[in-house]
């Protein structure tokens, strides 16, 4: 990295001793003790990876580096502002990290200069106390020169009969003590209302965490990720805080500050809510027609290119460990079909488009979507036939439920077409199914908390809004130089045989993740302020690039596609496929690679409604093939899905476990499905790898499994976070 040019700016004169300050100061006064230039300091340390990343983003004018503001009042009379400043100066001088500066050394490495300096203190004289908030915000908006200014600013705002003290923190100072505690330590006199407000915000965040994680025991100091949090839950939490409490948090904040206590000072007022969504509460059940959403259009293009076959079937299989009443189950699932019309949609061509329309419940009851079990049978051939069922989506419901009775108990073939269901929706569906089953087992209809916005309303709203040009440009810019897809094979691998007639034919295998490795990967994720998905994604990417001798790899993944809390409880297909280009050179560390994955995915989330086919069309001028993507590798996580759980029965819980399907094909070249299970409190990790026979032979599969297994073990080893990949994966 070359050293950028930093234009010097005039420096203010050093402040007089704090005890001698005249009050009130003139409006606009900034008081700071700049000290000697960074290059002359003898006390310094190397910049950490996260500091270097934020520093570079700041130099490039990143728009998501908003400083955090913590404000407290100084009780007047009885609190002399001069004494407050004197204590502040003394406390800051004792902690050089509070006024650190960033500079390049002779070798071009970013370093942190440490030397005792006075605080970066801004004084504001106000006509009235209500002006303090705007004055403090104006100081926060001033440009930051991290080579000459500290990453913390203190603002003392004085008005007749009132005084406020604020601490403004640049994101590069996220490692410093939490703002409210630091302010209380440096200025013990600062108290009252802001602290009370901070406690209120902390309580709101904690209550939201507890509800989202179903963890009533959680405290303000508990780590969100230690109690089962992951990216989908974080998305929901952020949306609920904004919609229900007017509190805005950035997605990245939860990774760097994963407790309610640490997040509270970072909360900002949320923007005004969007227009109310369409929720139909009327009793009639008319046919509701809507266009396909962008995500559905993307899936439908490939579905059509592959001949409308079973490639987009989702063949869930549940094994019940306790007897389940199949009649009650059918009634409970019918309740879901009534509540979520998208699950009972038909798809009909109309000109050059496809429309989705709901099937009235009276007709649903005449269709063959549910079958109870019969005599004991061998389930394997029936499950295989169900998984390969070819839906006629213009006539059938996009789902089939088939109970089977085996020597080992009851099994449910739970088949859906992907066009109406995504992973977020699966978890919603299973939670509501448990509620409906409990009610129907008691002879009652379920008591839903309220109506939900139907998916068809989302599709109509998205069609009215059109494609967001700025979001499309985000992806085009990010992927313009991405390398083209190619099979991930060792450089000396033998040539592949001729392509089979069925280009999607393939197989799958499981990559074992021992408990100790799972524990190590969780610990590494926490060390790097990232999620398990970010960590596993980085480890797989490093393994593949080293195996194939690649300088970079374009990797596809899925995004929730839900950015508006209005749709958080809606069942439907919102998920989009996105892609990121990642480099894993030998001198990179797991921490650097994981951070890069985290930051790219986080930065792309506001643009996640744009499916990959629109990006590919923009990059290729509209010539991209419909049945192929710009990536060979796809990685996704199934985090704590509810397909392992229990239904509440009259005689106690009815436990069920997901059975891994026997996959016989792959739409994608090489796909890794990371399954994070939590069963009766025990956390586990499984990785399923599916592949196309046209791209990989048996030797390739063995090499891939071995490489990924080695990478997981290396990343999970003690002290791996900051070791170069060349040392970890020789």
Which CATH number goes with the domain that contains 400? 3.30.559.10
Local confidence band at 64 (pLDDT 50, 70, 90 cut-offs) = low
How is residue 649 annotated by DSSP?
E
CA–CA distances in Å: residue 663 to residues 16, 96, 276, 392, 505: 75, 59, 42, 21, 10
How is residue 440 annotated by DSSP?
H
Q: Give the integer Cα–Cα distance in Å for 198 and 184.
A: 13
Same-domain status, 303 and 379: yes
pLDDT computed for residue 176 by the predictor? 81
Local confidence band at 183 (pLDDT 50, 70, 90 cut-offs) = confident
Residue with more model confidence, 645 or 19? 645
Q: Give the integer Cα–Cα distance in Å for 100 and 111.
A: 10
Q: Which of 191, 206, 228 is the last residue of a domain?
A: 191
Let me know: does 528 contact 597? Beta carbons within 8 Å.
Answer: no
Same-domain status, 205 and 246: yes
pLDDT computed for residue 502 by the predictor? 61
Same-domain status, 148 and 245: no
Q: Is residue 728 included in any domain, yes or no?
A: no
pLDDT computed for residue 590 by the predictor? 97
Give me the long-range contacts of 441-445 (CB less than 8 A, separation at least 24): 441/325, 441/328, 441/648, 441/649, 441/650, 442/650, 445/335
Same-domain status, 185 and 298: no
Same-domain status, 152 and 255: no
For residue 686 the two structure tokens come to: 């499984």
Q: Is residue 721 included in any domain, yes or no?
A: no
Residue with more model confidence, 682 or 715? 715
Q: Is the pLDDT of residue 662 over 70?
A: no
Q: Give the integer Cα–Cα distance in Å for 246 and 39.
A: 45
Local confidence band at 445 (pLDDT 50, 70, 90 cut-offs) = very high
Q: Is 371 helix (H, G, I), strand (E, B) or coil?
A: strand
Residue with more model confidence, 78 or 366? 366
Q: Is residue 262 included in any domain, yes or no?
A: yes
Q: Which of 168, 191, 214 is the last residue of a domain?
A: 191
Q: What is the CATH number of the domain that holds 215?
A: 1.10.1200.10
Average pLDDT estimate for 263-275: 76
Q: Which of 423, 441, 456 is the last residue of a domain?
A: 456
Q: Give the integer Cα–Cα distance in Å for 574 and 73.
A: 46
pLDDT computed for residue 499 by the predictor? 63
Residue 18: name the closest of 93, 72, 75, 95 by CA: 93
Residue with more model confidence, 250 or 194? 250
Residue 659: name the closest of 675, 672, 670 by CA: 675
Least confident segment among 2-16, 173-187, 257-271? 2-16
For residue 251 the two structure tokens come to: 């997605």
Q: Is residue 652 included in any domain, yes or no?
A: no
Residue with more model confidence, 502 or 485? 485
Same-domain status, 221 and 314: no
Same-domain status, 94 and 186: yes
Q: Is the pLDDT of residue 259 over 60?
A: yes
Average pLDDT estimate for 66-74: 82
Report the b/e string of 673-683 with b at 16+ CB within 10 A.
bbbbbeeeeee
For residue 5 the two structure tokens come to: 């040019």
pLDDT computed for residue 723 by the predictor? 96
Residue 137: name the closest of 124, 147, 149 by CA: 124
Q: Is residue 52 included in any domain, yes or no?
A: yes
Q: Is the pLDDT of residue 16 over 70?
A: no
Average pLDDT estimate for 431-436: 94
Enclosing H/E stretch for 677? strand 670-679
Local confidence band at 282 (pLDDT 50, 70, 90 cut-offs) = very low
DSSP string, 125-158: E-SSGGGHHHHHHHHHHS---TTTS-SEEEEEEE
Q: Is residue 700 included in any domain, yes or no?
A: no
Per the prediction, the chain carries an average pLDDT of 84
Same-domain status, 23 and 89: yes
pLDDT computed for residue 34 by the predictor? 40
Same-domain status, 46 and 131: yes
Q: Is residue 605 included in any domain, yes or no?
A: no
Using CA atoms in the order 177, 178, 180, 181, what is the torsion angle rounded to 10 degrees?
A: -50
- For 492-539, the pLDDT digits (tens) are 888 887 765 566 677 889 998 999 999 999 999 989 988 889 999 999
Q: Domain range spanning residue 256?
A: 198-269
pLDDT computed for residue 476 by the predictor? 94
Residue with more model confidence, 490 or 174? 490
pLDDT computed for residue 362 by the predictor? 92
CA–CA distances in Å: residue 186 to residues 49, 71, 86, 90, 182: 28, 13, 10, 8, 6
Q: Is the pLDDT of residue 298 over 60?
A: yes
Same-domain status, 446 and 348: yes
Q: Is the pLDDT of residue 33 over 60?
A: no
Q: Is residue 653 included in any domain, yes or no?
A: no
For residue 95 the two structure tokens come to: 């902690």
Measured over all CA atoms, what is the biggest interatomic distance in the chain, rounded to whole angstroms? Answer: 93
Q: Is the pLDDT of residue 475 over 90?
A: yes
Count of structural domains within the chain: 3
Q: What is the pTM of this model?
A: 0.68
Same-domain status, 30 and 168: yes
Average pLDDT estimate for 113-124: 89
Q: Give the integer Cα–Cα distance in Å for 374 and 239.
A: 45
Local confidence band at 251 (pLDDT 50, 70, 90 cut-offs) = confident
Average pLDDT estimate for 142-149: 90
Q: Give the integer Cα–Cα distance in Å for 385 and 352.
A: 32
Same-domain status, 116 and 241: no
Task: Give the relative orientation of helices 590-604 and 469-479 as an angle to the nearest 10 degrees.
Answer: 150
């Amino acid at each position: 990295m070359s050293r950028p040019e930093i234009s010097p700016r005039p420096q203010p004169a050093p402040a007089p001793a704090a005890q001698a300050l005249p009050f009130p100061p003139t409006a606009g006064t900034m008081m700071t003790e700049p000290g000697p230039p960074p290059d002359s300091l003898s006390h310094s340390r190397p910049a950490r990876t996260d500091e270097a990343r934020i520093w570079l983003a700041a130099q490039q004018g990143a728009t998501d580096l908003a400083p955090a503001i913590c404000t407290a009042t100084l009780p007047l009379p009885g609190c002399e502002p001069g004494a407050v400043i004197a204590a502040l100066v003394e406390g800051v001088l004792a902690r050089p990290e509070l006024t650190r500066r960033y500079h390049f050394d002779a070798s071009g490495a970013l370093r942190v200069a440490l030397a005792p300096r006075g605080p970066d203190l801004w004084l504001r004289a106000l006509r009235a106390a209500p002006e303090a908030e705007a004055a403090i915000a104006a100081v926060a908006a001033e440009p930051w020169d991290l080579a000459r200014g500290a990453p913390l600013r203190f603002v003392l705002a004085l008005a007749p009969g009132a005084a406020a003290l604020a601490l403004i923190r640049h994101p590069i100072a996220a490692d410093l003590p939490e703002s409210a505690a630091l302010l209380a330590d440096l200025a013990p006199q600062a108290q009252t209302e802001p602290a009370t407000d901070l406690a209120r915000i902390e309580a709101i965040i904690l209550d939201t965490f507890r509800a989202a994680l179903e963890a009533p025991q959680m405290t303000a100091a508990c780590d969100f990720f230690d109690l089962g949090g992951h990216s989908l839950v974080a998305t929901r939490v952020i949306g609920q805080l904004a919609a229900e409490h007017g509190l805005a948090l950035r997605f990245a904040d939860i990774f760097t500050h994963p407790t309610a206590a640490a997040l509270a000072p970072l909360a900002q007022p949320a923007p005004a809510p969007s227009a109310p969504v369409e929720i139909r509460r009327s009793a009639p059940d008319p046919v509701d027609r809507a266009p396909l959403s962008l995500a559905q259009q993307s899936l439908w293009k490939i579905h059509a290119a592959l001949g409308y076959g079973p490639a987009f079937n989702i063949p869930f299989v549940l094994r019940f460990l306790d007897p389940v009443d199949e009649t009650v189950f059918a009634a409970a699932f019918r309740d879901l079909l009534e509540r979520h019309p998208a699950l009972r949609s038909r798809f009909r061509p109309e000109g050059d488009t496809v429309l989705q329309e709901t099937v009235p419940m009276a007709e649903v009851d005449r269709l063959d979507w549910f079958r109870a079990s019969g005599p004991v049978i061998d389930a394997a051939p029936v499950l295989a036939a169900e998984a390969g069922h070819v839906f006629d989506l213009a006539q059938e419901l996009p789902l089939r439920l088939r109970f089977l009775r085996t020597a080992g108990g009851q099994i449910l073939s739970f088949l859906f077409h992907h066009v109406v269901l995504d992973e977020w929706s699966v978890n919603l569906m299973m939670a509501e199914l448990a509620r409906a089953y409990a009610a129907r087992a008691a002879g009652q209809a379920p008591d839903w908390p309220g109506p939900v916005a139907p998916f068809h309303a989302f599709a109509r709203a998205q069609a009215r809004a059109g494609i967001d040009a700025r979001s499309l440009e985000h992806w085009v810019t990010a992927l313009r130089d991405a390398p083209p897809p190619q099979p991930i094979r060792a450089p000396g691998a033998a040539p592949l045989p001729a392509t089979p007639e069925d280009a999607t034919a393939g197989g799958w295998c499981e990559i074992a993740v021992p408990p100790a490795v799972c524990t190590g990967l969780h610990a590494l994720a926490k060390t790097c302020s990232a999620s398990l998905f970010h960590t596993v994604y980085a480890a797989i990417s490093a393994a593949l690039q080293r195996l194939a001798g690649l300088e970079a790899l374009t990797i596809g993944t899925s995004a929730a596609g839900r950015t508006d809390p209005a749709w958080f409880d809606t069942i439907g297909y919102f998920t989009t496929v996105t892609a990121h280009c990642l480099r894993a050179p030998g001198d990179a560390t797991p921490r650097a690679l994981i951070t890069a994955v985290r930051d790219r995915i986080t930065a792309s989330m506001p643009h996640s409604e744009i499916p990959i086919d629109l990006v590919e069309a923009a990059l290729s001028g509209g010539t991209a093939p419909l049945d192929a993507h710009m990536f060979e590798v796809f990685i996704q996580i199934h985090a704590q899905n509810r397909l392992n759980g229990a239904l509440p029965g009259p005689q106690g819980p009815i436990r069920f476990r997901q059975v891994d399907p026997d996959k016989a094909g792959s739409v994608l070249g090489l796909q890794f499905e990371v399954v994070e299970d939590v069963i009766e409190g025990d956390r586990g990790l499984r990785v399923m790898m599916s592949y196309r026979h046209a791209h990989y032979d048996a030797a390739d599969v063995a090499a891939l499994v071995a490489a990924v297994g080695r990478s997981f073990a290396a990343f999970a080893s003690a002290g791996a976070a900051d070791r170069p990949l060349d040392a970890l994966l020789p």
